Amino acid sequence: MTTEYHNPVLLKETVDGLNIRPDGVYVDVTFGGGGHAREILSRLGSEGKLFGFDQDSDALKNAIEDDRFVLINNNFRYLKRFLRFYGHSTVDGILGDFGVSSHQFDVAERGFSTRFDGDLDMRMDREGALSAQTVVNEYGEKELRQVFADYGELRNAAALARTIVQARKKSKIKTTVQLKEVLQRFLPPHRQHKILAQIYQAIRIEVNQELESLKEFLLQTVDVLETGGRISLISYHSLEDRLVKRFIRNGMFEGEPEKDLYGRVEVPFKAVGKLIVPTAEEISENSRARSAKLRIGERL
């Protein structure tokens, strides 16, 4: 079932990055199909513990029957709260494989993929109040422009927003195909897939508050990780990767940390190794690995 649901990217490299102790406590904040979690469990002894987070209820079908494992059906932005609930204030390592799972892309009705006709949904948490349909049909032109510019990095964000607002006056835009038809003039055949992917990414990030969740999560890792504990994090687009890179380097998302009288800076992490990307072989076996970037940090 794991392979069908989601093929884990950079499996060995990401888990190796945690430098696992057999008796340690670890967290996989993006459980999905459980591929990374199973690899972590295979390296833990009987005293080890693994917590998994996934806000998508579909992931619960992949829950692992193991006394050392607990699966939490919630967003990783609540990391500290749930660890405390289960009696753990600190852990030894945290793994995150951000972005959309293969399963979410492959189920037409979830509305994540440009390949299918489906409802404009895009909610990772299916109980979430905000859907892609709400964003497309109810956001003002200025708000839509901001979403496309900030999260899709689209230069023609203003024209896209204006076109959607004009089109929805005639009839509500309910499906992925309807959205594509509305924006057809912005989709030249040779670049259609890339532009649509940017548009979908922008809407999806807004729907799921992905960057806000990532920031909240990263800030909590400072308190949650033991000294010497590690974060091993995979990002799939520049917006996520930029946040992870800056946080590991500076402990902040913007600007530079302040220096003391001696020119030293106190930062919570040190980078472990260099940026890791998939091999050509892994990409040929799993095309969705193409844009993956793995960064590892160690708590100082």
Q: Both 215 and 201 in a single domain?
A: no
What's the distance, CA 88 to chain centroid?
Answer: 24
Q: Can you tell me the mean pLDDT for 206-211?
A: 97
Domain containing 264 — which CATH number?
Answer: 3.40.50.150
Q: Can you tell me the mean pLDDT for 52-71?
A: 96
Q: Both 162 and 215 in a single domain?
A: no
Domain containing 122 — which CATH number?
Answer: 1.10.150.170
In this structure, is residue 214 part of a structural domain? yes
Mean pLDDT of the chain: 94
pLDDT of residue 2: 40
**pLDDT value at 102 more than 80:** no
* 105 — pLDDT class (breaks 50, 70, 90): low
In this structure, is residue 107 part of a structural domain? no
**pLDDT value at 222 more than 80:** yes
Q: Can you tell me the mean pLDDT for 52-60?
A: 95
Q: Can you tell me the mean pLDDT for 34-47?
A: 98
**pLDDT value at 1 more than 60:** no
Q: Taking CA 208 as the corner, what is the angle to CA 203 and CA 210, rounded to the nearest 5 degrees?
A: 95
Listed range (219-228, 256-265, 281-290) with the worst mean pLDDT: 256-265
Q: Both 84 and 152 in a single domain?
A: no
Helix/strand/coil for 37: helix
In this structure, is residue 72 part of a structural domain? yes
> Residue 278 CB: number of other CB atoms within 10 A?
21
Q: Both 218 and 262 in a single domain?
A: yes
Please identify which residue in the block is written with the tokens 């059906």: 73
pLDDT of residue 260: 85
Q: Both 95 and 119 in a single domain?
A: no
Distance CA 257, CA 264 (A): 10
**pLDDT value at 271 more than 60:** yes
Return the C-alpha torsion angle 190, 191, 197, 201, nearest 10: 180
pLDDT digits (tens, 9 = 90+) for 133-152: 999 999 999 999 999 999 99
> Residue 74 CB: number of other CB atoms within 10 A?
14
Domain end point (choices 175, 208, 241): 208
pLDDT of residue 74: 97
Q: Can you tell me the mean pLDDT for 267-274?
A: 97
* 265 — pLDDT class (breaks 50, 70, 90): confident
Q: Both 129 and 167 in a single domain?
A: yes
pLDDT of residue 259: 86
* 106 — pLDDT class (breaks 50, 70, 90): low
pLDDT digits (tens, 9 = 90+) for 170-197: 999 999 999 999 999 999 999 999 999 9
Q: Both 204 and 214 in a single domain?
A: no
pLDDT of residue 3: 41
Q: Both 24 and 55 in a single domain?
A: yes
Q: Both 116 and 200 in a single domain?
A: yes
Structural domains of the chain, count? 2
Q: Both 88 and 236 in a single domain?
A: yes
Q: Can you tell me the mean pLDDT for 164-170?
A: 98
In this structure, is residue 135 part of a structural domain? yes
**pLDDT value at 160 more than 90:** yes
Q: Can you tell me the mean pLDDT for 67-85?
A: 98
> Residue 58 CB: number of other CB atoms within 10 A?
17
**pLDDT value at 258 more than 50:** yes
Domain end point (choices 192, 208, 224): 208
Please, which residues have CB within 8 angstroms of residue 207's CB and are 6 or more apart in sequence? Answer: 122, 123, 128, 130, 131, 132, 134, 135
**pLDDT value at 253 more than 60:** yes
**pLDDT value at 223 more than 60:** yes
Q: Both 179 and 254 in a single domain?
A: no
Domain end point (choices 208, 230, 265): 208
Q: Both 12 and 88 in a single domain?
A: yes
pLDDT of residue 4: 57
Q: Supply the range of the domain harboring residue 243.
A: 2-102+210-299
